Amino acid sequence: MHFLENSIDNIPKRGSVEVIAGSMFSGKTEELIRRLKRASIAGLKVEIFKPAIDKRYSDTFVISHDKNRIPSTAVENASMILLLSTDVDVIGVDEAQFFDGSIVEVCKILANKGVRVVVAGLDMDYSGKPFGPMPEIMATAEYVTKVHAICVECGNLANYSYRLASETKTVLLGELDVYKPLCRRCFNKQTKE
Which residues are catalytic, by number? 95
Exposure on the CB side of residue 45, measured as CA atoms within 13 A: 8
- Report the C-alpha gap between 114 and 2 in whole angstroms: 25
d(CA 51, CA 55): 9
**Pairing mode of beta strands 61-63, 69-71:** antiparallel
**Sign of the C-alpha dihedral, residues 108, 112, 113, 119?**
positive
CA distance 46 to 21: 20
